[in-house]
Structure 1
Amino acid sequence: MVLSGKLVKQVAIRLDGDLFYEIYKYKQHRISEMSPGSIKRVDLHDGEWGVVGSVIVWNFIHDGKEKVVKEVIQAIDDGRRSLCFKVIGGDLMQDYKTFLVTIHVDTMGEGNLVTWTFDYEKLKENVEDPHTLMDLCLSVTKDIENSNIVNSN
């Protein structure tokens, strides 16, 4: 009975990697404008944008349903362009005992790579791995890329 899991996916983006990292660090509240079909609202619940310990609440559409997730910024590594968020409330906590989301951006000149990592522990054996949630994150990544490329032209 394996309840712990790890899911890792990468997506290449044409958008400047530093800009993508800055959006996720300081401007998450703007992501609903860049991906309105998926992200309805992102609010700072406690603390400051881009500061460890700050709490952020996401309202989004997943598998056709409106959902809410509350997360705390657990770690920031500007040198590696990496952010780690720990889910502390909301709909994911109905299926998972723990859920960590790490976003890492590799900048490689004209091409950049965004790596999403989910580390999680399910509450029950019959809970599915979060593949559709990962698909949502990859889709939002592309929406951010497309929005910022269009706006920069």
Structure 2
Amino acid sequence: MVLVGKLSTELGIKTSADKFFKLFASEIHELQNICGSVHETNLHEGDEWHHSDSVKHWTHILGDGGATVKWTVEYEKINEDIDPPYGWLEYVGKCTRDIDAHFLKQAASVAP
């Protein structure tokens, strides 16, 4: 019997939703240059990042600054003795903070 679950977290960011979305929609290869814990990015399903058959789901709101990032992890456990993957939420939380800090530092270096 497979046990299915879902974990979600929402994190506030100071970066615009547009910049954050663009990173994951078309510049995912840059993630390994922004987050120290990401060593490589690969497409696991589909022909290419921009192909309609690739597995992606995005919901976003565009704005001038500040947004909320929501991460959802869907998982299957092979038995009840296995804990839910809370570590994944901690991991994406750290990556989110790293990305936000990167964009804020980038904006500060460009500001007059």
TM-score category, normalised to shorter length: 0.7 to 0.9
Q: Which residue does the alignment assign to 1:58? A: none
Match of 2:79 among 124, 145, 152: 124
Measure how far apart 1:136 and its partner are.
0.2
Query: Which consecutive residues of structure 2, in runs of 5 or more, have no partner in the other structure?
Result: none
Residue 34 of structure 1 corresponds to 34
* 2:91 corresponds to: 136
Does the CA contact (< 8 Å) of 1:106 and 1:114 recur in 2?
no
Q: From the two aligned structures, give the one with the greater helix fraction.
A: 2
Deviating beyond 6 angstroms after TM superposition, the runs of 4 or more aligned structure 1 residues are: none
Q: Deviations over 1:88-138 (max 9, x none)?
A: xxxxxxxxxxxxxxxx44445532000011122212222210111111011
Please, which runs of 5 or more residues in structure 1 have no aligned partner?
55-72, 77-81, 83-103
Q: Which has the larger radius of gyration?
A: 2
Root mean square deviation of aligned Cα: 2.2
User: More strand by proportion, 1 or 2?
Assistant: 1
1:119 partner letter: E
- Which has the bigger relative contact order, CA under 8 A and spacing at least 6? 2
Change (3 A) 1:108 1:19: closer
Q: State the shift of 1:51 in Å.
A: 2.9
- Alignment size in residue pairs: 107
CA distance in 2, matches of 1:19, 1:50: 17
Residue pair 1:10, 1:114 contacting (<8 A) in 2 also:
yes
The answer to whether the 8 Å contact 1:16/1:112 transfers is yes
Could you tell me the percent identity over the aligned residues? 26
- Corresponding residue for residue 7 of structure 1: 7
Q: Which residue of 1 aligns with 2:52?
A: 52
Q: Secondary structure in 1 aligned to 2:100?
A: helix
Report the TM-score, using the length of structure 2 for normalisation: 0.81
Tell me the distance in 1 between the aligned counterparts of 2:73 and 2:61. Answer: 17
SS of equivalent to 1:121: strand
Superposition TM-score, scaled by structure 1 size:
0.61
Q: Out of 8-17 and 123-132, give the one that drifted further.
A: 123-132
